[in-house]
Amino acid sequence: MKKKIMFLFIAVMMMSMVLSGCGAKETSKADSESAQETKVSEEKDGSLEEIKEKGELVLGLDDSFPPMGFRDEKGEIVGFDIDLAKEVAKRMGVELKTQPIDWDGKVLSLNNKDIDVIWNGLTVTEERKKQIGFSQYYIENRQVIVVQADSDIETKKDLTEKIVAVQLGSSGEDALNADVDTVNSTKEVVKFSNFPEALLDLQAGRVDAVVIDEIVGRYYMSKRPGTYKVAKEDFGKEGYAIGFRKGDTAFMNEVDQILDEMKKDGAAAEISKKWFGEDIVAK
């Protein structure tokens, strides 16, 4: 009886070892197949080669978004992002082409390949991450509340029963909508196609406040001293990054690498000082 029990025990152990070995082989096979799929995926990503072959990088922007990208007195598109992108394109060995787009349709323009990147003070949000890829942050920013200089609005609570302006499709609109209590307390949210129009309506008293990127807001404020002020409370910090099509990993990695080089050799800091008077590039 004991011999039979011993025999059964040995048989069970041998079977377990065989099954365990098979499981290990299956796991190893699965890992190998996964690695192979990743390799094939990377090989299929010809995004960087495509940019270099056509010899140009098409940058999509809202051309009324100073100091990131806007038209100067001569009608030429200039700005911090433009200078940064020109240097990146130069180091890639391609020409930079700027393409004004409808900001509310920026993701569609990118995915339709009308442009290669969205590079114009683009805020990284969870919703946008579902639609496009992002480079590293290159500037930190806030969504602030800009009001008339003599306004008593200082907090989000002060926006109760007030008319608040945003740019359609902007991160300011997203930030306001994310704060359900605040947006529900307002009298009305008015959406503009660009910030200059929103700020003109604020100056004229047709709206009570504008939710806007701090960097852009302060640029406009500097053009009209004593007209506006920034409220004490804001809608939180955020980061600017470059938008890429999902799957354009090789292209995005190349841009990130060049941006790192520009931070190290001082080129990014030099461009920042030109537009902001100091180095505000995220390290």
- Listed in sequence order, the residues at least 6 apart from 258 whose beta carbon sits closer than 8 Å to its beta carbon are 88, 91, 92
Helical ranges in 97-247 per DSSP H: 106-111, 126-129, 171-178, 180-185, 195-203, 214-223
For residue 98, being part of any structural domain is answered with: yes
Cα–Cα distance for residue pair 246/41, rounded to 1 Å: 12
pLDDT at 200 over 60: yes
Q: Are residues 85 and 69 in the same domain?
A: yes
Sheet strand arrangement including 95-100: 95-100, 56-61, 117-118, 243-244, 133-134
Q: Mean of the pLDDT values across residues 207-214?
A: 96
Q: Are residues 152 and 218 in the same domain?
A: yes
Judge contact between 143 and 214, C-beta under 8 A. yes
1 or 115: which leads in pLDDT: 115
For residue 75, being part of any structural domain is answered with: yes
Cα–Cα distance for residue pair 73/78, rounded to 1 Å: 10
Q: Please, is 60 exposed, middle or buried when counting C-beta atoms within 10 Å of its C-beta (0-12, 13-18, 19+)?
A: buried
For residue 283, being part of any structural domain is answered with: no
Cα–Cα distance for residue pair 37/26, rounded to 1 Å: 16
Q: Mean of the pLDDT values across residues 114-143?
A: 94
- pLDDT recorded at residue 283: 84
Q: Are residues 147 and 234 in the same domain?
A: yes
Judge contact between 72 and 84, C-beta under 8 A. no
For residue 24, being part of any structural domain is answered with: no
Cα–Cα distance for residue pair 123/178, rounded to 1 Å: 14
Both structure tokens of 94: 């391609």
Q: Which of 261, 278, 260 is nearest to 269 (CA)?
A: 278
For residue 157, being part of any structural domain is answered with: yes
Q: Which of 105, 144, 139, 109 is nearest to 122 (CA)?
A: 139
What letter does residue 224 receive in the DSSP assignment?
S
One-letter amino acid of 48: L
Both structure tokens of 210: 């504008």
Residue 244: count other Cβ atoms within 10 Å of its Cβ. Answer: 23
127: containing domain: 47-136+247-276
DSSP H or E segment with residue 44: helix 2-44
Q: Are residues 61 and 183 in the same domain?
A: no
Judge contact between 137 and 241, C-beta under 8 A. yes
Q: Are residues 121 and 146 in the same domain?
A: no
- pLDDT recorded at residue 171: 87
Q: Which of 120, 124, 143, 146 is nearest to 133 (CA)?
A: 124
Cα–Cα distance for residue pair 85/2, rounded to 1 Å: 81
Q: What is the pLDDT of residues 1-60, one digit of tens each?
A: 444 444 444 454 455 544 444 454 444 444 554 444 444 444 578 999 999 999 999 999
Q: Mean of the pLDDT values across residues 57-73?
A: 95
Q: Are residues 131 and 265 in the same domain?
A: yes
> Could you give the number of structural domains in the chain?
2
For residue 193, being part of any structural domain is answered with: yes
Q: What is the pLDDT of residues 211-263, one digit of tens each?
A: 999 988 988 888 899 999 999 999 988 899 999 999 999 999 999 999 999 99
What letter does residue 160 receive in the DSSP assignment?
T
25 or 279: which leads in pLDDT: 279
Q: What is the pLDDT of residues 133-172, one digit of tens each?
A: 999 999 988 999 999 999 999 999 999 999 999 999 888 9
CATH number of the domain enclosing 220: 3.40.190.10
Q: Mean of the pLDDT values across residues 186-197?
A: 95
Cα–Cα distance for residue pair 183/171, rounded to 1 Å: 14
Q: Are residues 210 and 270 in the same domain?
A: no
For residue 37, being part of any structural domain is answered with: no
Cα–Cα distance for residue pair 211/85, rounded to 1 Å: 27
- pLDDT recorded at residue 31: 52
